Amino acid sequence: MFRKILLTSIAVIACLSIVVGCAPQAAPAAAPAATTAPAAAPAKKTYTIAIIHQQEGNPYFAVEQPGVEDAAKELGDTVIFKGPASMDVNAQVELVDSLIAQKVDAIGLDALDPDALVPVAQKAMKAGIKVFSWDSSLAPAGRLVHFDAASPEDVGRTEVQMMAKMINYEGQIAILSAGSTNLNSNLWNKWSEEELKDPKYSKMTLVKTVYGDDDYQKGYNLTQALLKEFPNLKGIIGPTTVGIATASKYIKDAGLVGKVFTSGLGLPSEMKEYIKLGICKEMALWSPIDQGYGTVYIAHGLLTGEITPKAGETLNAGRLGKLPVVDTGSGNLVIYQGKPMIFDQSNIDKWAAIF
Amino acid sequence: MKTSYLTYKKPFSISSFFLRWEWILVGLIIIASLVLTFLSPHFLDAVNLFDMTFNFMERGFLTLTMMFLIISGSMDFSIASIAALSSAILGKVYLATGSIWIGLLAGLLTGLVAGVVNGLIVTRFNIPAFVATLGTLALYRGIAWIILENIAITNLPQEFTFFGQGYIPGTIIPIPLVFYLILLIPCALILHRSTFGRYTFAIGGNKEVCRYSGIKINRILLTIFIASGLMAALAGAFMSARFASIRADIATGMELDVVIAVVLGGVSINGGVGTLPGVVLSLFLLGIVRFGMNLINIPAQQQIIVTGLLLIVSVYIPQVINRLTIRKTI
C-alpha cells in the first residue's frame, strides 16, 4: 500500500514538474525578446507590440531580432517577437488568438497564408488591436497596412539581371522557390518571368519552377532532380534563403562549380562559402535587421496615430528615415523598406559576420 | 490482460479507482490551470477559455473516430488529407453551384467515399492499416492539390463561416464546441454501451479470438473507417469555415496531433483499451497547456518538448499502474 502511494505521488510529481518545468526556462528565453521600457521616460505611454514571424529557429527570423529590440528600446515599447515551431498555419492562428487574449496593443504578422489568417486578424482588430502584416502579406481585409522589404518588381527583376550577368545572357535556368502557396516568392517569380520577356534575354529560357518548401533536404533533392532532368541547366534562381543555399550546396557537392550558377535572395553568412567559390557571384537581400526594426516603428506609428494609415502619409521610421505609405491599387496599402541590397565577393565578408 | 477487459471485472478498490488514468488527467488539468493562473493574469478569463477551444475543436472531432480506430487495433493516417480533399470538393462544388450547402454535402460525400476506400484496402487486401492509410495520405492530398492547384477559395458565405467562427447568439459559447459536445453523446453510447463498442474493444484485444467467435471483423472495421472519413470531412468543413478560405494544404500534419491526443487519453496504441472520458480530458489538457504556453509566450520549440514529454509519460504511467494492479490481483 505504502509502495503504491509512493509510486503514485512520484508519477504526479513527474507530471507536475513537466508543466512547471517549462515556466522557469521560459523566462530567460523570452527575456531577450521582451524589452521593457526604460525608466527614463515615465511620462510616455508604452505599448505592447507583438511581432509574429513564420518559424522559430529559422536563421532569417533570428537575425530580425536585434532590429526588433533596437526599435523597442528607442521607442520604449514592450515587444513580443515569436513564431510557430513549424510553418503551420493553424499554429500561427493559435498564436494570434493567444495575443488577443493577452490584450496586446498591436500585432505585426508575417502571414503563413494570406487568407486563412484573415478571420483571426479581423477578430483582433475588432478587439481594438492594430493589425498589420510584414514580409509575407495578409489579404488587405485582414490588416491596416503591409510592410514589404522591397517592391516585388524590384526583387523579381534584380534576380534575373544578376543571373543573366553570370551566364552571359544564354542558357536554361530554373527557379527553386519556397512553398507553392507563399505569396511573396510567387510574386517575385512572376516579376522574374516578366523581366525575362525583355528581348535581351531571348537566349535564356526558364525551364521549370520547383517548390522546396524552405526545407533544406527537399531543396537539395529537388536540385539534384532538376539537374538530372535538364543536364544543360546553367543557372538556378533561389528567391528564398533556403532555396539558394541548398542549390549552391548541391552544385558544390556534385562538382559542378563553374558549370551551374545560383542567384536569388540569400543570407550572407549561409552563402559566404558559395560566393567565394564563385557558384553565386551576386545575390540580393534587404537587411533583415532593418526589416525587424521597421516593423516595430510601424506598430508604434499606428498606435500613436502618426499613420492612420492613408496613402500619402509618411512614417518617421528612426534610422530607416521617412517611409511613405503607398497605395498599390484598390486600397492595398504598403510601406516599402527600400531597394534590395546586392552582395558579392567585395562585401560578403563584412555582411556574413553580421547576419 | 487485454481479453480480461471483456470477461473479467476487477473488484472495486479505492486505490485502483483513483489510479485510473482519467483521474491523473484531471489532476494534470488542475495543476496546469493553477500554474497558468499563477503565471498569466489572462488565463482565468471565461472569454479566453471559451475562445481557446476554437483552435482544437477540429482536432477534437477527429479524436473521436481515431479513438475507435486505435481501440480496434487499427489506424488512419489519412484523416488530415481527407479533410483537405473534401474541403477542396466542398469549395469547388460551391463555386460551381453557388450553394454552400450542396458544397457541404459533396464534401461529406467525398469523406465518406475516402473512408470506404481506406476501409476496403485494409479489409479486402489485408494491408496493415497504417501502411494503407499512409498511402492514401499522399493520394488524397495529391488529388486535393490537383483540384485546387495553388489557388485558395475565399469569400465563403457568412452563414457557413459562422459555424467555424461564430458563437451561440448572446453567449460566449463557440459553435464548434457545441457540435463537439453533441457528438460526444453518440460516441459514448456506441463505444461503452453497445455491442458494436464491445466488438471494437474485442477486435483490438484479440483479433483471432474474435474471428473464431464469429464476429464480423471486416464489417466493423469498414464501418469505423467510413465514420473516420466522414468525421474528417466534417472537420475539414469546420476548418474551412474558421479560416474562411480553402486551400489544398490545410490541416497538414494534423493526424499526428490527433494520435497524440488519443494516446495521451489512455487509449493503448496496441488496441483493446481506452475510454471516451480519457480522450476528452486529454484533448482539453493539450489544448489548455498549448494555449497557456502561448499566453506566457514560451518559445514554440520548448512547447514541442512539453508535448513530447507528456506523450512519453502517458505511455509510461499506465504501465506502472498496470504493474501495481496486477500485483494486487496476484
Within 8 A of A82 by CB-CB distance, chain B residues are: 297, 299-300
Residues of A in contact with B306 (CB under 8 A): 18-19, 22
Of the residues A68, A78, A98, the best mutation for testing chain B's interface (the one with the most B CB atoms within 10 Å of its CB) is A98
Q: Which amino acid is at B154?
A: T
**Residue A191 region by backbone torsions, left for phi larger than 0, else alpha for psi between -120 and 50, else beta:** alpha
User: Rounded to whole angstroms, how far apart are CA atoms A260 and A350?
Assistant: 26
Window 95-114 of B: residues touching A by CB (8 A cutoff) are none
C-alpha cell at B26: 484531471
Burial of B30 (0-12, 13-18, 19+ CB in 10 A): exposed
* Residues linked to residue A343 through DSSP beta bridges, in sequence order: A283
Taking an 8 Å cut-off on Cβ atoms, the answer to whether B299 and A101 are in contact is: no
| Blockwise average pLDDT, block size 10, chain A, 355 residues | 54 50 40 42 75 89 91 95 91 95 96 94 96 94 92 91 94 93 87 94 95 92 95 95 94 94 93 94 90 95 94 92 88 88 90 81
Q: Using CB atoms, pick whichever of A80, A82, A179 lies closest to residue B300.
A: A82
Chain B residue numbers touching A30 (CB-CB < 8 A): 296-299
The reply to whether B112 falls in a domain is yes
Query: Do residue B306 and residue A30 have CB atoms under 8 angstroms apart?
Result: no
Beta bridge partners of A327: A333
Closest C-alpha among A49, A14, A282 to residue A159:
A282
The answer on pLDDT for B92 being more than 50 is: yes
Helices (H) and strands (E) in chain A, counts: 12, 14
CA distance A212 to chain B (A): 14
A83, A92 in Cβ contact below 8 A? yes
Residue B68 maps to a domain: yes
Question: Per DSSP, what are the bridge partners of residue A237?
Answer: A175, A263
For residue A84, give the chain B residue with the closest CA. B300
Using CA atoms, how far apart are residues A62 and A32, in angstroms rounded to an integer?
12
Residues of chain B found within 8 Å of residue A190, distances taken between Cβ atoms: none
Considering only the beta carbons, identify the residue of B18, B154, B295 that sits closest to A115: B154
Question: Mind giving me the DSSP string for A104-124?
Answer: -SEEEE--SSTTTTHHHHHHH
Neighbour count for residue B329 (Cβ, 10 Å): 10
pLDDT (tens digit per residue) in B2-13: 444 455 555 666
Alpha-carbon distance of B319 to A17, in angstroms, equals: 20
Q: Which residues constitute the domain of residue B134?
A: 44-313
In a domain, B1, yes or no: no
Task: Chain B: give the shortest CA distance to residue A192, in Å.
Answer: 18
Of B244, B250, B313, the CB nearest to A18: B313
Mean pLDDT of B302-316: 82
Q: Residue A22 and residue B306: Cβ atoms within 8 Å?
A: yes
- The residue of chain A with its CA nearest to that of B42 is A102
Q: A-chain residues within 8 Å CB-CB of B295?
A: 98, 101-102
C-alpha angle B42/B178/A86, rounded to 5°? Answer: 55
Residue among A2, A5, A8, A183 with most chain B CBs within 10 A, to mutate? A8
Among A1, A26, A180, the residue with its CB nearest the CB of B296 is: A26
Contact (CB<8Å) A4/B243: no
* Cα R_g (chain B), whole angstroms: 20
Interface of B with A in 26-85 (CB under 8 A): 27-28, 31-32, 35, 39-40, 42, 45, 48, 51-52, 54-55
Residue in chain A nearest B41 by alpha carbon: A102
Largest CA distance in chain A: 87
DSSP three-state, residue A146 = strand
Distance CA B121, CA B190 (A): 25
- Average predicted confidence (pLDDT) for chain B: 91
| CA–CA distance, A352 with A3 (Å, rounded to integer) | 60
Residue B330 in this model has a pLDDT that exceeds 70 = no
Work out the average pLDDT over B319-323. 75
- Asked if B205 contacts B4 with a C-beta cutoff of 8 angstroms, the reply is no
Do B296 and A84 count as a contact with CB atoms less than 8 A apart?
no
- Min Cα–Cα distance to chain A from B132, Å: 24
With beta carbons less than 8 A apart as the criterion, state whether A320 and A296 touch: no
Q: Is the peptide bond before A309 cis (omega within 30 degrees of 0)?
A: yes
The pLDDT confidence band at residue B17, using thresholds 50, 70 and 90, is low
| pLDDT, position A276 | 93
Q: What whole-number percentage of chain B has pLDDT above 70?
A: 92
Nearest-Å Rg of the Cα atoms of chain A is 23
Task: For residue B29, tell me if it sits in a domain.
Answer: no
| Residue environment code for A94-124, b if the CB has 16+ CB neighbours within 10 A, otherwise e | bbbbbbbbbebbbbbbbbbbbbbbbbbbbbb
Kindly determine whether residue B324 and residue A7, on different chains, have CB atoms separated by under 8 Å: yes
Say how far apart CA B218 and CA B310 lie, in whole Å.
34
The Cα B225–Cα A152 span in angstroms is 47
Helical spans, DSSP H, in A1-126: 2-30, 59-62, 64-75, 89-102, 118-126
CB contact under 8 A, A97 and B55: yes
**In this predicted model, what pLDDT tens digit does every residue of B131-142 receive, in sequence order?**
999 999 999 999
DSSP output for A266-329: --HHHHHHHHHHTS-S-EEE--HHHHHHHHHHHHHHHHHTS--S-TT-EEE-GGG-EEEEEE-S
Q: Do A97 and B289 touch (CB under 8 A)?
A: no
Q: How would residue B107 be classed by pLDDT, with cut points 50, 70 and 90?
A: very high
Q: Do the chains contact at B297 and A26, CB–CB below 8 Å? A: yes
Query: Is residue B21's pLDDT more than 90?
Result: no
Task: Report if residue B303 sits inside a domain.
Answer: yes
Cβ B15–A4 below 8 Å, yes or no?
A: yes
* pLDDT above 70: residue B18: no
What's the confidence (pLDDT) of residue B321? 73
Exposed (0-12), middle (13-18) or buried (19+): which is A257, by Cβ within 10 Å?
A: middle
- Express as a percent the part of chain B with pLDDT over 90: 78
A128: which DSSP letter?
Answer: T
Residue B321 is assigned to a structural domain of this protein: no
| A116: nearest CB among B245, B293, B301 | B245
Helix (H) or strand (E) holding A240: none
Number of alpha carbons in the 13 Å side-chain half-sphere of residue A260? 27
* B31 is a domain residue: no
Q: Which residues from chain B sit within 8 angstroms of residue A215, using beta carbons?
A: none
pLDDT tens digits for range B25-68: 999 999 999 999 999 999 999 999 999 999 999 999 999 999 99
**Phi and psi (nearest 5°) for A83?**
-155, 175
Residue of B48, B245, B296 with shortest CB distance to A115: B245
pLDDT digits (tens, 9 = 90+) for B110-122: 999 999 999 999 9
Supply the DSSP string of A149-164, one letter for each residue.
SS-HHHHHHHHHHHHH
Determine the residue among B25, B62, B245 to mutate to test chain A binding: the one whose Cβ has the most chain A Cβ atoms within 10 Å: B245
Other Cβ atoms within 10 Å of A48 Cβ, number: 18
| Total number of domains in chain B | 1
Minimum Cα–Cα distance from B44: chain A residue: A101
Residue type, B285: L
Q: Do B150 and A93 touch (CB under 8 A)?
A: no
Whether B318 is covered by a domain: the verdict is: no
For B314, name the nearest residue in chain A, comparing CA atoms only.
A15
| pLDDT tens for each residue of B163-220 | 999 999 999 999 999 999 999 999 999 999 999 999 999 999 999 899 999 999 999 9
CATH number of the structural domain spanning residue B214: 1.10.3470
Which pairs count as long-range contacts for B47-53, CB under 8 Å and 24+ apart, including other chains?
Answer: B47/B172, B48/A101, B48/B291, B48/B295, B50/B172, B50/B173, B50/B174, B50/B177, B51/A97, B51/A100, B51/A101, B51/B172, B51/B174, B52/A97, B52/A101, B52/B287, B52/B288, B52/B291, B53/B174, B53/B176, B53/B177, B53/B180, B53/B287
In this prediction the ipTM stands at 0.86
- As beta bridge partners, residue A350 has none
